[in-house]
Chain A
């Protein structure tokens, strides 16, 4: 029985994922087309290029842009069904290749930022829950400020301080690891604010639970309780939040990759949106959706590992 239940769960998940991807592709397709604009002009060189009428008509015919929207939509679905993301209008190259070349950079950035944010958040939560009322107030202030920092502003300040004034770190990405520090910090700090806030509240709640008293009675130290018991409680909602965080980080990557001149999906998406490069926009959004779905599954599994009660509840 448990085995067929697992299979059903997997099948349901897969069906759900396919539905999500179809919905995402459809919404994106119509959203891109609802905004007025002409991809043909962009195909012919964008700003400053001087396209003739003949060239525009030719491009519209070549790319099927003169077809009714419904026909274009069905053609896109047919393509996607065969796992073909199509060719970029502007770059004349296959979308899959384009995304393949940019995916690693963005994922590295997002995952490093997530890891650093967790580090900050755990540190802050552990410190603030042991630092009394004043410590907690200070921590709350830091968390709120950090969470509210806009990426573009934070990036500019970090560049001004660490590159222009101190000269410690390069202001734009380069091949060395030092080029990653400022972009990762830019993404990690606001996220750390969110995570720390959540963790601190959960830890404080856990520390008031009866098991804390019993652990203290068994001779556990206060620090040990925070590390071994309260942190586990606090981690659970934070793990769930991390699935959402990946989406947040990838959208943040649009800004960060532009400011730090890093290649990546965010910049690809920004540029493709400006040019109405529909195949690229849909391709990037689909890939982000796949990563998001995968992260949700992953956080679900991690939650189960952290808290076995979840699986038990489901079975009951």
Chain B
């Protein structure tokens, strides 16, 4: 069993709760057959991903969700999360932090090797952190997560000491993420091109071959002896391997699952989930992504949303609930928080988001948007009340795009001219960089509430001229900045929770964002597949304990 010496009683209690939750998390889509019992060894699982094909299998390069989905099968992290959000051991068995919060010691397992034979030791951790922090690696997500880590010192083979430039209460949460997973130093040394094709880790499977635009073949790691502390069984995986296919079209993906050509699909769309539930022959896993909820950010950095009354008017006018009910077939639940419901510190306030057309009209009158043209569009001093809303067709599923259209229609009743602009990914980034938007919806996945700092701290508003910024609401409030900065270095859990609650009250109360629902993450699989679960970290599936029943 992993890391017995480090497990504290609290963790054990959480583990018990976690296993109950894992079972509850896998809700059958219908009257699916009961588990057939004992695990079966052998067989190749076919997984069909609609989340896009990674351009590099090393998650240190770039760092997005398609990478997270697959790398969890062959790479592992220092720590993980259990279902209650508690940090639990993985490659590291225990950790300590000094009182000033600047020095962290991670004790590693001493019986683990990468699949190329390289031992897992403190030197390997050091090489990984340096790889992540080296600009040549082109890391984005992992790089940001380790922003406060200055260097890693090798104390001895099993102890790696992290030196921080400032206390970071999110460090453990960041390290659970697949984008910060630990790879073989020898693998990294081969150079980016080779390492992108087949990174070498300690995970239950090994990358065998990647045929671009077709599939990645993964084979079992026979010597596998690790896994997060809440793993269901010891030793190697039951499956011989996984064929990881890329099937971009959602209807084809579902047809392939129905035809038995594939065993699991991700990105199951609302209509197929509805169909699957009715057919009763498939199993659904509903695992919302952590970090931010899906929400519409209102650009408070320029007119008209620099006026809180106009922001509130938009939010009061937009009817979200009816759209969610009709377009998502009951597969998505309305959120009133900017954080995902799986984040323990998420704070909601539904009262702020009641639809009320009269109130919206009164607010707009008060704000001076009193003229109306023949179409009912308001204007002020000849300037129409226009809301440019670029929509990324790569990131918004058709049901969500339809929801935006319903929001457009209901906001028009109050006098808003919402201009939806469907754009491909690059064009969408372009519109944001050029500040040519008043409203926008952007997904953001990260473990822990520190995502609020990335999304709403004024540091994340664009520094001209070159570009990217995460604070799309352009929220610039010194009081909020102070709360988020303090929370990021606060080590006392209660104080931290209170700071994040105050921060969320400012964000919600200022009507900077219209929360919609959790980031949807639904998997459908054949009833033959058992023992699969979504990791509590970033909700990616793991097949370390899965088997295909006959």
Contact in complex: A273, B443 (CB < 8 Å): no
- How long is the Cα–Cα vector from A93 to B191 in the complex, in angstroms? 12
Give every chain A residue within 8 A of B55 (Cβ-Cβ): 45-46, 90-92
Give every chain B residue within 8 A of A47 (Cβ-Cβ): 52, 64-65, 392, 394-395, 425, 443
- How long is the Cα–Cα vector from A171 to B258 in the complex, in angstroms? 10
Instruction: With A38-B426, A50-B63 as known contacts, state yes or no: A159 contacts B245, CB within 8 Å.
Output: no
Give every chain B residue within 8 A of A267 (Cβ-Cβ): 213, 248
- A293 interface residue, CB < 8 Å from B? no
- How long is the Cα–Cα vector from A211 to B392 in the complex, in angstroms? 62
Give every chain B residue within 8 A of A159 (Cβ-Cβ): 251-252, 255
Contact in complex: A91, B212 (CB < 8 Å): yes
- How long is the Cα–Cα vector from A42 to B143 in the complex, in angstroms? 16
- B310 interface residue, CB < 8 Å from A? no
Give every chain A residue within 8 A of B258 (Cβ-Cβ): 164, 171
Give every chain A residue within 8 A of B468 (Cβ-Cβ): 38, 41, 51, 53, 56
Contact in complex: A98, B212 (CB < 8 Å): yes
- B193 interface residue, CB < 8 Å from A? yes
Contact in complex: A171, B255 (CB < 8 Å): yes
Contact mask for chain B residues 27-59; partner A; CB cutoff 8 A; 1 contact, 0 none: 000000000000000000000100011011000
From B64, B192, B255, contact of A92 by CB (8 A): B192
Contact in complex: B135, A51 (CB < 8 Å): no
- A221 interface residue, CB < 8 Å from B? no
List 19 additional contacts besides A156-B251, A164-B258; criterion CB under 8 Å: A35-B426, A42-B429, A43-B138, A45-B61, A46-B55, A47-B64, A47-B395, A48-B444, A55-B135, A55-B139, A164-B259, A171-B252, A171-B259, A172-B247, A259-B251, A261-B48, A261-B256, A263-B212, A268-B213
- A283 interface residue, CB < 8 Å from B? no
- B470 interface residue, CB < 8 Å from A? yes
**Which residue, of A43, A49, A174, has the highest number of chain B Cβ atoms within 10 A?**
A49
- B111 interface residue, CB < 8 Å from A? no
Give every chain B residue within 8 A of A58 (Cβ-Cβ): 135, 138
Contact in complex: A171, B261 (CB < 8 Å): yes
- B427 interface residue, CB < 8 Å from A? yes
Chain A 27-44 interface residues, beta-carbon cutoff 8 Å to B: 35-44
**Which residue, of A43, A46, A55, A268, has the highest number of chain B Cβ atoms within 10 A?**
A46
| Distance (whole angstroms) from the CB of B257 to the closest CB of chain A | 9
Q: Which of B156-164, B339-347, B430-438 contacts A (4 or more CB under 8 A)?
A: B430-438
Give every chain B residue within 8 A of A40 (Cβ-Cβ): 467
Contact in complex: A274, B141 (CB < 8 Å): no
Give every chain B residue within 8 A of A260 (Cβ-Cβ): 252
Chain A 117-162 interface residues, beta-carbon cutoff 8 Å to B: 156, 159-160
Give every chain B residue within 8 A of A263 (Cβ-Cβ): 211-214
Contact in complex: B394, A52 (CB < 8 Å): no
| Distance (whole angstroms) from the CB of B5 to the closest CB of chain A | 35
- A208 interface residue, CB < 8 Å from B? no
Contact in complex: A51, B424 (CB < 8 Å): no
In the complex, the chain A residue whose C-beta lies closest to that of B395 is A47
In the complex, the chain B residue whose C-beta lies closest to that of A32 is B426
Contact in complex: B255, A164 (CB < 8 Å): yes
Contact in complex: B140, A49 (CB < 8 Å): yes
Can you list 11 A-B contacts with CB-CB less than 8 angstroms, sorted by A residue number? A36-B427, A38-B430, A45-B67, A46-B425, A47-B65, A50-B144, A58-B135, A102-B212, A102-B213, A267-B248, A274-B424
Contact mask for chain B residues 373-417; partner A; CB cutoff 8 A; 1 contact, 0 none: 000000000000000000010110000000000000000000000
Give every chain A residue within 8 A of B428 (Cβ-Cβ): 37
From B62, B259, B427, B444, contact of A46 by CB (8 A): B62
- B74 interface residue, CB < 8 Å from A? no
- A101 interface residue, CB < 8 Å from B? yes
- How long is the Cα–Cα vector from A276 to B427 in the complex, in angstroms? 9
Interface size on B, residues (CB 8 A): 64
3 nearest A-B residue pairs (beta carbon): A45-B62, A37-B426, A36-B430
Chain A 88-102 interface residues, beta-carbon cutoff 8 Å to B: 90-93, 98, 101-102
In the complex, the chain A residue whose C-beta lies closest to that of B214 is A263
- How long is the Cα–Cα vector from A156 to B251 in the complex, in angstroms? 8
- A59 interface residue, CB < 8 Å from B? yes
Give every chain B residue within 8 A of A220 (Cβ-Cβ): none
From B261, B426, B443, contact of A170 by CB (8 A): B261
- How long is the Cα–Cα vector from A69 to B180 in the complex, in angstroms? 36
- How long is the Cα–Cα vector from A35 to B467 in the complex, in angstroms? 16
Contact in complex: A259, B425 (CB < 8 Å): no
- A251 interface residue, CB < 8 Å from B? no
Give every chain A residue within 8 A of B259 (Cβ-Cβ): 163-164, 167, 170-171
Instruction: With A53-B468, A164-B259, A171-B261 as known contacts, state yes or no: A259 contacts B252, CB within 8 Å.
Output: yes
| Distance (whole angstroms) from the CB of A45 to the closest CB of chain B | 2
Give every chain B residue within 8 A of A190 (Cβ-Cβ): none
Contact in complex: B62, A49 (CB < 8 Å): yes
Contact in complex: B246, A261 (CB < 8 Å): yes
- How long is the Cα–Cα vector from A60 to B61 in the complex, in angstroms? 16
Contact mask for chain B residues 127-162; partner A; CB cutoff 8 A; 1 contact, 0 none: 000000001001111011001000000000000000
| Distance (whole angstroms) from the CB of B474 to the closest CB of chain A | 16
- B196 interface residue, CB < 8 Å from A? yes
| Distance (whole angstroms) from the CB of A198 to the closest CB of chain B | 32
Give every chain A residue within 8 A of B433 (Cβ-Cβ): 38
Contact in complex: A93, B193 (CB < 8 Å): yes
- B454 interface residue, CB < 8 Å from A? yes
Give every chain A residue within 8 A of B426 (Cβ-Cβ): 35-39, 41-42, 274-276
Give every chain A residue within 8 A of B326 (Cβ-Cβ): none
Give every chain B residue within 8 A of A55 (Cβ-Cβ): 135, 138-140, 143
- B445 interface residue, CB < 8 Å from A? yes
Contact in complex: A174, B261 (CB < 8 Å): yes
Contact in complex: B261, A92 (CB < 8 Å): no
- How long is the Cα–Cα vector from A90 to B53 in the complex, in angstroms? 11
In the complex, the chain A residue whose C-beta lies closest to that of B425 is A274
- A57 interface residue, CB < 8 Å from B? yes
Give every chain A residue within 8 A of B100 (Cβ-Cβ): none
- B466 interface residue, CB < 8 Å from A? yes
- How long is the Cα–Cα vector from A181 to B196 in the complex, in angstroms? 34
- How long is the Cα–Cα vector from A229 to B213 in the complex, in angstroms? 46
| Distance (whole angstroms) from the CB of A8 to the closest CB of chain B | 43
- How long is the Cα–Cα vector from A276 to B63 in the complex, in angstroms? 18
Give every chain A residue within 8 A of B255 (Cβ-Cβ): 159-160, 163-164, 171-172
| Distance (whole angstroms) from the CB of A16 to the closest CB of chain B | 33
- B249 interface residue, CB < 8 Å from A? yes
- How long is the Cα–Cα vector from A59 to B252 in the complex, in angstroms? 36
- B9 interface residue, CB < 8 Å from A? no
- How long is the Cα–Cα vector from A92 to B197 in the complex, in angstroms? 10
From B253, B262, B430, contact of A37 by CB (8 A): B430
- A279 interface residue, CB < 8 Å from B? no
- How long is the Cα–Cα vector from A93 to B139 in the complex, in angstroms? 17
Contact in complex: B424, A56 (CB < 8 Å): no
| Distance (whole angstroms) from the CB of B304 to the closest CB of chain A | 23
In the complex, the chain A residue whose C-beta lies closest to that of B445 is A48
